[in-house]
C-alpha cells in the first residue's frame, strides 16, 4: 500500500475547466493546504457515488426548479432504487444468503433531522420510508418487519424485489458458495447522494441492498447516521460506499465532516478517511472502501480503494453532470 495514485479527471466535455476544489485551496509557505473562502459559492449542486448519471440528472431537475436539497437527494436515489439493472440497490438488489432482499437506507436534512430503515423487505423505495420515519415519527431508525408494516401504513405497496436475474444468480451462488459470505469488491453500486439547494442548504441520502449473500440479518453502514451518511449544514456532508463494516468501525461519514470542520477540503478529508482505514488493513486488496464529500462552499471530493471509482457531480457551473475519478491503489 506504499504506492498511492491520485487521479482526478473528468469526462463529458469538462476539459479545461478548473475544478472548484483546485480553486478553493491554496498553499502558503510552511503551512499545509488551507481552505480558502470562495466568494461565489457553487449552488445548487449534487453529487453521488459511482456513475449514476440518471440519478444526478433527476436530483438536478429538482434543484434547478427551485426544490430543496432534501427532495433532490430523495428523488435522485429513487432512480437507482427503481432501476432493476442496479443489483445492489432497491428492486433488483441481490439477496442475502437465505435468498431474501433486505434493504438499508437513510436520509438527513439541513437541520440534522434524519430517518433510517434497516433490514426492510418488499418495498422498492426504502429511502422514502426513511423519510417518513424522519417526518412522521419521533424516532430515527425502524427495523425489519415492523419497518415494513410502518411502510404499508404509510401507503407503500408490497413488491417482490427479486428479479429473474438476481434469482438466477442466487441459484448459481448456492451451488458453489458452501453458504459462505465473502466480501465482494465488485459489489459496489450503493448510491450515496449529497446536494446543496439554492438556499445553500445541504441534505444527503444513502440506499443499498448491502453486501450480496450477506448473513441474514446483517445491516451495513448505509442506514447508520454518521457511518454511511452525515450532514452538518454548517460544514458539509459525506457519504460512504464499500464494505460497511469498515465504515461503521470508523464512523466514517462523521469523520469526514469533522475533518472538513477542522479545515480540510472535501478531497483531503476523503483521502484521510480512506488512509485511516487502509492503515488498519495493510496489504488487503479484497475489499473496496470509499467516501464522497461536499462542503458548504460546494467544493466536492471523493476517494476510494477501487480502481475505477468514479463519482457524479452536477452543477450549472459549466460542467454539467460530469464524472470524476479518484482512487487509491
Ligand atoms: C454495505 N456499504 O452494505 C454497503 C455496500 C456498498 O457499494 O456500499 N456497496 O456495506
Class of the 40-328 domain?
Answer: alpha beta
Distance, CA 36 to ligand 1 centroid (Å)? 33
Q: What is the three-class DSSP state of 140?
A: coil
Q: Would you tell me the crossing angle of helices 266-279 and 252-261 to the nearest 10 degrees?
A: 130
Residues 6+ apart with CB under 8 A from 255: 273, 276
The domain segmentation of the chain, as residue ranges, is 40-328
Nearest CA to ligand 1 atom 6: 242
Q: What is the three-class DSSP state of 220?
A: coil
The minimum-distance atom of ligand 1 relative to the CA of 211 is 3
Percent of the chain with pLDDT over 70: 81
pLDDT tens readout for residues 179-193: 877 766 556 679 999
CA dihedral 244, 112, 197, 65 (to 10 degrees): 90
Q: Candidates 102, 119, 190: which one to mutate for ligand 1, based on the most atoms within 8 Å of Cβ?
A: 190
40 has catalytic annotation: no
What CA–CA distances, in Å, run from 9 to 193, 205, 228, 272, 299?
Answer: 20, 25, 25, 20, 15
Annotated catalytic residue, options 49, 68, 102, 190: 190
Q: CB within 6 Å of ligand 1 — which residues?
A: 88, 187-190, 208, 210-211, 220-222, 241-244
Nearest to 243 by CA among 294, 190, 288: 288
Nearest to 203 by CA among 311, 67, 65, 82: 67
User: What pLDDT is recorded for position 180?
Assistant: 79
Quickly count: other Cβ atoms within 10 Å of residue 82's Cβ. Answer: 14
Task: State yes or no: pLDDT of 25 exceeds 80.
Answer: no
Is 138:114 a contact under the CB 8 Å cutoff?
A: no
Q: What is the mean pLDDT of residues 7-13?
A: 34
pLDDT tens readout for residues 221-279: 999 999 999 999 999 999 999 999 999 999 999 999 999 999 999 999 999 999 999 89
Please name the residue that has the C-alpha cell 434524519: 114
Nearest to 314 by CA among 72, 66, 6: 72
Rounded to an integer, what distance in angstroms lies between the CA atom of residue 122 and that of residue 113?
A: 25
**Is residue 317 very low, low, confident or very high in pLDDT (cuts 50, 70, 90)?**
low
Is 268:26 a contact under the CB 8 Å cutoff?
A: no
Residue 289's region, left for phi above 0, alpha for psi from -120 to 50, else beta, is beta
Task: State yes or no: pLDDT of 166 exceeds 50.
Answer: yes
pTM strictly above 0.85: yes
Q: What is the mean pLDDT of residues 140-147?
A: 98
What integer best gives the mean pLDDT of the chain?
85
Amino acid at each position: 500500500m506504499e504506492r498511492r495514485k491520485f487521479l482526478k479527471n473528468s469526462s463529458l466535455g469538462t476539459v479545461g475547466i478548473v475544478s472548484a476544489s483546485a480553486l478553493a485551496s491554496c498553499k502558503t509557505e510552511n503551512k499545509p493546504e488551507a481552505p480558502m473562502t470562495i466568494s461565489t459559492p457553487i449552488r445548487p449542486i449534487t453529487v453521488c457515488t459511482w456513475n449514476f448519471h440518471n440519478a444526478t440528472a433527476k436530483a438536478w431537475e429538482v434543484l434547478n426548479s427551485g426544490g430543496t436539497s432534501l427532495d433532490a437527494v430523495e428523488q435522485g436515489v429513487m432512480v437507482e432504487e427503481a432501476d432493476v439493472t442496479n443489483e445492489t440497490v432497491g428492486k433488483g438488489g441481490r439477496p442475502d444468503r437465505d435468498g431474501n432482499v433486505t434493504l438499508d437506507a437513510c436520509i438527513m436534512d439541513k437541520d440534522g433531522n434524519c430517518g433510517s430503515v434497516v433490514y426492510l423487505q418488499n418495498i422498492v423505495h426504502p429511502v422514502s420510508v426513511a423519510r417518513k420515519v424522519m417526518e412522521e415519527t419521533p424516532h430515527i431508525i425502524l427495523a425489519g418487519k415492523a419497518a415494513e408494516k410502518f411502510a404499508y401504513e404509510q401507503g407503500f405497496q408490497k413488491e417482490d424485489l427479486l428479479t429473474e436475474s438476481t434469482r438466477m444468480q442466487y441459484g448459481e451462488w448456492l451451488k458453489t458458495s458452501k453458504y459462505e459470505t465473502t466480501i465482494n469488491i465488485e459489489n459496489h453500486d450503493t448510491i450515496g447522494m449529497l446536494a446543496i439547494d439554492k438556499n445553500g442548504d445541504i441534505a444527503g441520502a444513502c440506499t443499498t441492498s448491502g453486501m450480496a449473500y450477506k448473513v441474514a440479518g446483517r445491516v451495513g453502514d448505509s442506514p447508520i447516521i454518521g457511518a454511511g451518511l452525515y450532514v452538518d449544514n454548517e460544514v458539509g456532508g459525506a457519504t460512504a460506499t464499500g464494505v460497511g463494516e469498515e465504515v461503521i468501525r470508523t464512523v466514517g461519514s462523521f469523520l469526514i465532516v469533522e475533518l472538513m470542520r477542522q479545515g480540510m477540503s472535501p478531497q483531503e478529508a476523503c483521502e484521510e478517511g480512506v488512509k485511516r482505514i487502509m492503515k488498519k488493513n495493510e496489504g488487503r486488496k479484497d475489499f473496496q472502501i470509499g467516501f464522497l464529500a461536499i462542503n458548504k462552499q460546494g467544493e466536492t471530493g471523493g476517494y476510494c480503494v477501487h480502481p475505477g471509482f468514479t463519482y457524479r457531480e452536477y452543477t450549472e457551473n459549466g460542467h454539467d453532470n460530469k464524472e470524476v475519478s479518484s482512487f487509491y491503489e
